[in-house]
Structure 1
């Protein structure tokens, strides 16, 4: 694979993380270095880790992964999105709503947005490509996109008084539906 192909692969894989980080920034409404790095690091870690895990699983597990990866991603995104929508409709104080900085929430989002990276890792194993450059590029691109997303979401969230957790929940569910449709009807 050329570096341009690797870069395009990394950008494609990081799009779900970008959407999630924009939503997280909008909910937090603050763009401190700690918040940016925490969200971006967790999302980048899962993208790189799932690529590596997929690569290590190799082609022997390809059929197993292909049959369930879309369902896992859909279920996780549906749960997290549904939770965000439900919480947006509750009369709660701002600090009682879902916290995107909660490690449990971040890990759930990281896993949900990285399921495709698992399948990509398996594909990379079949192509017998060098993993170190690819995994590092995926991690860096996802980190940068996610960091930008948190800051962008925080700035937009502070200027627009919308139920951004409702919108974020709908976005997560839409991503899950997109993954499910792609795997069930377009594969």
Structure 2
């Protein structure tokens, strides 16, 4: 996997966390840079760990699935992309959850990182250094969440939903690229 492709995956993985951060920021009363950075660090660490777990699961199955690995990677990324696009078209969550407690943030960070675990499974089937991939995903998420919390007050949850759509389109493009690259090399 090329560096550019890896950067696009990292960006795509951070978009749902970015959308959640905008929503959280919109509910906070004047979030500070320190609060935003702490939130970003929590999301980034969790988002960096989940693809590692997914990769371990995928590596356990890689020997049995080598003939189908490119299709599995494509299917997982495309399905996640479609899911993110659908979520992006859903109306913003208007629950009155103004909680920014550690537990509320932890639950949100974990929920937004599930897709990164599935991407980790897909990455087990392609040539990639999973530690670099996980670090890139974690760093992108840290950055996007920190920015999202700070922007949340100004732009609200609607822009966050649009970023989820963009992330879904990016994942579909990356999955298609993996599939076409494999078919070209082995076709």
Spell out structure 1 runs of 4+ moving beyond 4 A: 59-63
Give 1:4's aligned residue.
4
Distance 1:58 1:109 in 2: 25
Q: 1:115 to 1:61 in 2, by over 3 A?
A: farther
List per-residue Cα deviations over 1:41-72 (Å, max 9, x = no partner): 12111211111110111254699xx7xx98xx
Contact 1:42/1:110, CA 8 A, preserved across alignment: yes
CA gap 1:12/1:86 in 2 versus in 1, 3 angstroms: closer
> In the TM superposition, what are the counterparts of 1:19-30 in structure 2 within 5 Å?
19-30=19-30
Q: Give the direction of change, closer, same or farther, for the CA distance of 1:152–1:85 in structure 2 (3 Å limit).
A: closer
CA RMSD of aligned residues (A): 3.3
Is contact 1:47–1:142 with CA below 8 Å preserved after alignment? yes
Residues 14-163 of structure 1 mapped to structure 2, 5 A cutoff = 14-60=14-60, 85-87=94-96, 97-99=97-99, 101-156=100-155
**Using the alignment, how far apart are the partners of 2:105 and 2:10 within structure 1?**
20
Partner residue, 2:185: none
Counterpart secondary structure, 2:124: helix
For 2:20 and 2:53, locate their aligned partners in 1 and report how far apart those are by CA, in whole Å: 22
**How much does 1:132 deviate?**
1.5
TM-score (norm 1): 0.64
| TM-score, scaled to structure 2 | 0.64
User: How many Å separate the matches in 2 of 1:133 and 1:111?
Assistant: 20
Partner of 1:91: none
Q: Which residue of 1 aligns with 2:184?
A: none
Q: Report the number of matched residues.
A: 144
Conservation of the 8 A alpha-carbon contact between 1:59 and 1:123: no
The answer for unaligned runs of 5 or more in structure 2 is 63-71, 173-187
Task: Give the whole-Å Cα distance in 2 for the aligned partners of 1:24 and 1:50.
Answer: 22
What is the aligned partner in structure 1 of residue 66 from structure 2?
none
